[in-house]
Structure 1
Amino acid sequence: MATNENVQQVLDWAVAEVGIPGIVAEVKDGDRTWFGTAGVADIQTARRREPGEQFTTGSAAKAFTAAAMLTLEAEGRLSLTDTVEQWLPGVVRGNGNDGRQITIGQLLTHTSGLGITGLSVEIARKYHTRPGFAAHRYDVWTVEELLKLQMAIPPLYAPGTAFAYSNGGYHLAGAIIEKATGHSYEEEVDRTVVQPLGLTGTYARPFDEQRFRGPHARIYTRQFIKDGIDPASLTPDNYESLMEGPDSDPVDVTDRTIWGWAAGGVVSTTSDMLRFTNAMITGSLLPPAQHRTMWNTGPTRDWMPNTRYGTGVSQWALADGRTLHIVAGVELGTATFAMGTPDARRLVSVNINCDWNWYPVCSQVAEAAFGSPFLPPQ
Structure 2
Amino acid sequence: MRARTAWVGGTALLLTAALAGPAVAAGPAPHERTREAVEAAVEAGAPGATVTARDGHGVWSATAGVGDTRTGEPRSAADRFRVASITKTFVATVLLQLEAEGRVSLDDPVDRWLPGVVRGHGHDGRRITLRRLLNHTSGIHDYLADPGFRSAYFTQDGFFRHRFDTLTPRDLVDLAMRHAPDFAPGTSWRYSNTNYVVAGMVIEKVTGRPYATEIERRIIAPLRLGATSVPGARVTLPRPSSRAYSTFAVPGGPAYDVTELNPSIASSAGEMISDSADLSRFYGALLGGELLPARQLKEMKTTVATEADAPHIRYGLGLMNTRLTCGVRVWGHDGGIHGSVSEAASTADGRHSVAVNFNGDWAGDTRDVLEKEFC
Q: 2:284, 2:352 within 8 Å by CA — same for their partners in 1?
A: no
Residue in 1 aligned with 2:312? 306
Instruction: Give me the whole-angstrom Cα distance separating, in 2, the residues matched to 1:146 and 1:55.
Output: 23
Asked if residue 291 in structure 1 is aligned to residue 316 in structure 2, the reply is no
Q: How many corresponding residue pairs?
A: 347
After superposition, the C-alpha distances for 1:145-183 in whole angstroms (9 at most, x for unaligned) are: 011111111111111111110100111111111111111
Instruction: Pick one of 352, 357, 361 that aligns with 1:351.
Output: 357
Q: 2:53, 2:277 within 8 Å by CA — same for their partners in 1?
A: no
Residue in 1 aligned with 2:260? 255
Residue in 1 aligned with 2:199? 173
The aligned runs of 1:125-136 (5 Å cut-off) are 125-136=151-162
Identity of aligned residues (%): 37
**Superposed displacement of residue 342, structure 1:** 2.1
Instruction: Pick one of 80, 87, 97 that aligns with 1:54.
Output: 80
Residue in 2 aligned with 1:9? 36
Asked if residue 365 in structure 1 is aligned to residue 369 in structure 2, the reply is yes
Instruction: Give me the whole-angstrom Cα distance separating, in 2, the residues matched to 1:345 and 1:102.
Output: 35
The one-letter code of the counterpart of 2:295 is A
Q: 1:325, 1:341 within 8 Å by CA — same for their partners in 2?
A: yes
The aligned runs of 1:1-378 (5 Å cut-off) are 2-16=29-43, 18-206=44-232, 208-224=233-249, 244-245=250-251, 247-258=252-263, 259-301=265-307, 304=310, 306-358=312-364, 361-371=365-375
After superposition, the C-alpha distances for 1:122-157 in whole angstroms (9 at most, x for unaligned) are: 221111221111100100111220111111111111
**Superposed displacement of residue 304, structure 1:** 5.0
SS of corresponding position for 1:38: strand
Q: 1:205, 1:261 within 8 Å by CA — same for their partners in 2?
A: no
Residue in 2 aligned with 1:233? none
SS of corresponding position for 2:54: strand
Structure 2 unaligned regions, length at least 5? 1-23
SS of corresponding position for 1:3: coil
The one-letter code of the counterpart of 1:366 is L
The one-letter code of the counterpart of 2:52 is E
Instruction: Give me the whole-angstrom Cα distance separating, in 2, the residues matched to 1:52 and 1:253.
Output: 20
**Superposed displacement of residue 203, structure 1:** 1.3
Q: 2:283, 2:345 within 8 Å by CA — same for their partners in 1?
A: yes
Q: 2:143, 2:173 within 8 Å by CA — same for their partners in 1?
A: no
Instruction: Give me the whole-angstrom Cα distance separating, in 2, the residues matched to 1:90 and 1:12.
Output: 50
Q: 1:23, 1:352 within 8 Å by CA — same for their partners in 2?
A: yes
Instruction: Give me the whole-angstrom Cα distance separating, in 2, the residues matched to 1:201 and 1:132.
Output: 30
Instruction: Give me the whole-angstrom Cα distance separating, in 2, the residues matched to 1:294 and 1:173.
Output: 15
Give the direction of change, closer, same or farther, for the CA distance of 1:113–1:302 in structure 2 (3 Å limit): farther
Instruction: Give me the whole-angstrom Cα distance separating, in 2, the residues matched to 1:117 and 1:146.
Output: 6
Instruction: Give me the whole-angstrom Cα distance separating, in 2, the residues matched to 1:363 and 1:284.
Output: 26
Give the direction of change, closer, same or farther, for the CA distance of 1:44–1:263 in structure 2 (3 Å limit): same
After superposition, the C-alpha distances for 1:255-293 in whole angstroms (9 at most, x for unaligned) are: 110111110011111111011100221221111111111
Instruction: Give me the whole-angstrom Cα distance separating, in 2, the residues matched to 1:13 and 1:320.
Output: 20
The one-letter code of the counterpart of 2:253 is S
SS of corresponding position for 1:62: helix
Q: 2:303, 2:317 within 8 Å by CA — same for their partners in 1?
A: yes
**Superposed displacement of residue 363, structure 1:** 2.9
Q: 1:333, 1:354 within 8 Å by CA — same for their partners in 2?
A: yes
Instruction: Give me the whole-angstrom Cα distance separating, in 2, the residues matched to 1:325 and 1:176.
Output: 25
Q: Which moved more, 1:137-146 or 1:321-330?
A: 321-330
Structure 1 unaligned regions, length at least 5? 225-243, 372-378
SS of corresponding position for 1:110: coil
Q: 2:110, 2:129 within 8 Å by CA — same for their partners in 1?
A: yes
Moved over 4 A (4+): 302-305
**Superposed displacement of residue 294, structure 1:** 0.8
Instruction: Give me the whole-angstrom Cα distance separating, in 2, the residues matched to 1:313 and 1:181.
Output: 23
Instruction: Give me the whole-angstrom Cα distance separating, in 1, the residues matched to 2:133 and 2:292.
Output: 19
SS of corresponding position for 1:77: coil
SS of corresponding position for 1:363: helix
Residue in 2 aligned with 1:236? none
**Superposed displacement of residue 302, structure 1:** 6.2
Instruction: Give me the whole-angstrom Cα distance separating, in 1, the residues matched to 2:309 and 2:154.
Output: 20
The one-letter code of the counterpart of 1:181 is T
SS of corresponding position for 1:63: helix
CA-atom RMSD in angstroms: 1.5
Residue in 2 aligned with 1:235? none
The one-letter code of the counterpart of 1:364 is D
